[in-house]
Amino acid sequence: MQSTLPTTGHGTLVAMVAIEARRFARHPLFLLGALVALVLQPLVSGVGDPFASDVLAWPIIPAFFIGLPSLVVAALLTRSTEAASEAMGTAPGSEARRTLAVAGAAVVPFTVGLLWLAELFAIVSIKGVHPHELWFGTMDDLHVWGILLALGPVACLGGALLGVLAGRWLTFRGAPAVVVVALVAVDIGAQIGTMGEDIVAHHASGDLGVRARLLAPWALWHSGGLPDGRASVGGGDPVWYLFYLLALCALAVGGAAWHDRTARTPRLRLTLYAVIGVAVTFLALAVFAGPEAGTVSEPVPFKVEG
C-alpha cells in the first residue's frame, strides 16, 4: 500500500493528530454527549437540596455521556481512515501512525472531562457540602482525587482509546454498538456481588469480592445516597486504581498499533509486555494495598427519607 505522507517524522504525526482532533470535536454524537453532560450536571446535583450530595457518584455522568460516545466516535474515525486505503491502496501515513493520530485525538474528550471536573468543583463551591458528606475532610484527599479523576476525565480518555482499539481490531459494522453494550455489561456485571440493598454493609465488610470489582475498567466506588441518609465508598485504593486505568489506556494504544504488521517491532512487543505487567501490578495494589473496608458516612440529615 502506498502512503501519501512520510511514514516517519514528528511533524506529520502532529498534523495528523490535529486533523483527527478536529474531526473528533465536530462529530455530532460527541458534541451531543458532551453538551448533555455539561448541561445536566447542575440538574443532577440536587437542585432543591441545601447541599451538594453524593458528589463522588457524579462521575457516572461524564463517563456515560462523554466516554461512551467517544468510544463510538473513535471507532468510526479509526475505520474511516481505512476507506482510502481499502479503495485505492493509498492512505496518509502508515496504519500505525493513523492509529496514533486518532489515539492522539482522544485528548479532546479528556479535555472535556477536565471541563466537567471544573464544573463539579464550581457547583460544590457554590452549594457547599454537608460535614458528613464523603468528600475532602471526611476522606483521604488523594483518594477523593483518585476517584474523581479515574471515573471522570480518565474514563472519557479511556472510552476513546478503547474505541480506537475496537475500530482497529473489530471490522464488522456493528462493532461500536456491541462494544458499548459489552462494556456496560462488564462494568455493571463486575459490581453485581457488591451492590444490592445492603451496599453499605458490603462496603464496610472488607470482603475481597468487593475490592475485586476494581478489575472492571469503570468500577463503582460510591454507593449513592441511601434512604437512611448514609452513603459509603468501597474498599481498595483509588489512586492505584487511577494508575491501573492509565495503564489500560496505554495498553489500548499499543494494542491498536500492534494491528499494523509493519509496526510489530521487538521494541513494541517489549513495551506491551511491560505495560501489561505494570497494569497487573497497579490492579493488585489497588485491590490489596488500599484499605480493606470501605468508608461509611454518618447520616446526612436532609437525605433521610420519611
Partner 1 sequence: MLLWYLGRAVPWTTLLGCLTVGGALTVTTHRWESFAGLGLPLVALVSASAAAFLLDEPAVAVTTVAARGGRWATSARLAVGLVPLAAGAALLLAAPDQVRGDGTGWVLVLAGLLAVVLLLTLVGARRQVPRPGATVASAVVLLGMAPMVLGMFLDWRSPYPMPDLSHELQVFWTGALAAGLLGCGVLVLSPASAPGARRRRRPPLPRRPRSSRVAP
User: Cβ 296 to partner 1, closest distance in Å?
Assistant: 20
User: Cβ 221 to partner 1, closest distance in Å?
Assistant: 14
| Burial (0-12, 13-18, 19+ Cβ within 10 Å), 227 | exposed
User: Cβ 233 to partner 1, closest distance in Å?
Assistant: 16
Q: Which of 5, 31, 42, 64 touches partner 1 by CB under 8 A? A: 64
Q: Which of 10, 11, 89, 172 touches partner 1 by CB under 8 A? A: 172
Q: Which residue blocks in 128-212 are alpha helix, DSSP H?
A: 141-151, 153-169, 175-190, 199-205, 208-211
Footprint on residues 201-230 left by partner 1 (CB under 8 A): 224
Which is closer to partner 1, CB of 49 or CB of 292? Answer: 49
Buried/exposed 40-76: b ≥16 CB within 10 Å, e otherwise: ebeeebbeeeebbbbbbbbbbbbbbbbbbbbbbbbbb
**Residue 38 within binding range of partner 1, rule CB under 8 A:** no
> Which residue matches cell numbers 468487593?
210
User: Cβ 152 to partner 1, closest distance in Å?
Assistant: 14
CA quadruple 263, 266, 267, 268: dihedral sign = positive
Q: Under a CB-based contact definition with an 8 Å cutoff, are residues 150 and 233 in contact? A: no
Binding mask 181-200 for partner 1 (x = CB under 8 A): xx-xx--xx--x--xx----
**Residue 178 within binding range of partner 1, rule CB under 8 A:** yes
**Residue 33 within binding range of partner 1, rule CB under 8 A:** yes
What value, to the nearest 5°, has the Cα angle with vertex 112 and ends 109 and 113? 85
Q: Which of 17, 151, 175, 287 touches partner 1 by CB under 8 A? A: 175
Secondary structure of residue 232 in the 3-state scheme? strand
Q: Under a CB-based contact definition with an 8 Å cutoff, are residues 93 and 101 in contact? A: yes
Binding residue count for partner 1, defined by CB under 8 A: 36
Footprint on residues 68-127 left by partner 1 (CB under 8 A): 68-69, 72, 75-76, 79
Q: Which of 60, 84, 216, 278 touches partner 1 by CB under 8 A? A: 60
User: Cβ 284 to partner 1, closest distance in Å?
Assistant: 26
Element (H or E) spanning 116, and its range? helix 107-127
User: Cβ 198 to partner 1, closest distance in Å?
Assistant: 12
**Residue 173 within binding range of partner 1, rule CB under 8 A:** yes
CA quadruple 210, 235, 214, 73: dihedral sign = positive
Q: Under a CB-based contact definition with an 8 Å cutoff, are residues 210 and 287 in contact? A: no
User: Cβ 273 to partner 1, closest distance in Å?
Assistant: 31
- Contacts of 150 by beta carbon, 8 Å cutoff, 6+ apart: 238, 241, 242, 245
User: Cβ 178 to partner 1, closest distance in Å?
Assistant: 5
Which is closer to partner 1, CB of 64 or CB of 136? Answer: 64
Residues that bind partner 1 (CB under 8 A): 29, 33, 36, 40, 43-45, 57, 60-61, 64-65, 68-69, 72, 75-76, 79, 172-178, 180-182, 184-185, 188-189, 192, 195-196, 224
